[in-house]
Structure 1
Amino acid sequence: MRRRLPALLLWGGLCLCLARPAVADAEHDRCIAASDGTNTSWATCGADLLKREDGRLNGAWKRVFAGLPDETRKNLLDEQRAWNAFKETSCLFYRSDDWGREGQVLHFPLCRAAVIAERVKALEGYGTFFKQ
């Protein structure tokens, strides 16, 4: 058992490193697969993923915000401004040199897309609550 533990830890660590957030949609996967394997093409795939997630966020915001009572609209607008500040600083650790170019062009957009997807989920939940 003692000999297996380091191997199991190594295997588990490798699996965690290779795990990707569920936010990487089929379009992103196709883009990565079709790319020439360069950082530039991977960065383009990541930027496109973030554009799609931002589009989902903007759509959810418009749908939900329009149907809210006045006081809730004001409070949610304040919250969204604070969340936007958070979003802009989220996942920046991947852009440091510690993570190399792979962190910058592969992991950063996936991380940021996951942050945006969680906000979309929260907004949609608010909208469902107020439709009741």
Structure 2
Amino acid sequence: MMVNRTITAPILGLALLAAASGVADAQDDGTECSRNAETTAEMQSCADEALAQVDSQLNDIYDAIIQRLDSDGADRLRRAQRAWIAFRDAECRFQGLAAEGGSMNPVIVTECLASLTARRFDDLEAYLNCEEGDVSCVPLAPLE
């Protein structure tokens, strides 16, 4: 199959520009690191730092919830978390597709991982802040 390179190159260029601008927007979180990043290596370092921070927060809240679940609930959360991690990783590899093989790909993927991990943190945090009687919440044992 023959591809018309005069059409493909501009489309790929636009896709890379859109992906890079999405990363720039995601990194504009007010941290000194992201505001001062000028090179791809610096952007990657900022992305790695953001991911490590939010991943640590996610692990802390996950552990807090596990401690408040019975064994069946804990097993269900473990299975859900494993499935979520597989989804997150696949989704971020997909989001980096436009920059596959380029220097921005790891930045895009890492920023995506940080963003989705932050969303998962918010979801898990909501379980700890359910109002009594909310049947959409996970039943957690009361704190002792």
TM-score by length of 2: 0.64
4+ residue stretches of structure 1 with deviation over 6 A? none
Q: Which amino acid counterpart does residue 25 of structure 1 have in structure 2?
A: D
8 A contact 1:57–1:117 mirrored in 2: yes
**For residue 52 of structure 1, what is the aligned residue in structure 2?**
53
State the distance in 2 between where 1:31 and 1:91 align.
22
Aligned residues: 111
**For residue 4 of structure 2, what is the aligned residue in structure 1?**
none
**1:33 positional shift:** 2.6
Q: Which amino acid counterpart does residue 95 of structure 1 have in structure 2?
A: G
Question: Structure 2: where are the runs of 5+ without partners?
Answer: 1-13, 131-139
State the distance in 2 between where 1:113 and 1:127 align.
21
Whether 1:102 aligns to 2:104 is: yes
State the distance in 2 between where 1:124 and 1:81 align.
18
TM-score by length of 1: 0.68
**1:32 positional shift:** 2.7
8 A contact 2:57–2:121 mirrored in 1: yes
What is the percentage of aligned positions where both structures have the same residue? 25
RMSD: 2.5
Structure in which a larger fraction of residues adopt helix = 1
**For residue 31 of structure 1, what is the aligned residue in structure 2?**
33
State the distance in 2 between where 1:94 and 1:104 align.
11
State the distance in 2 between where 1:131 and 1:125 align.
15
**1:128 positional shift:** 2.7
**1:83 positional shift:** 1.3
Question: Does the residue aligned with 1:90 lie in a helix, a strand or coil?
Answer: helix
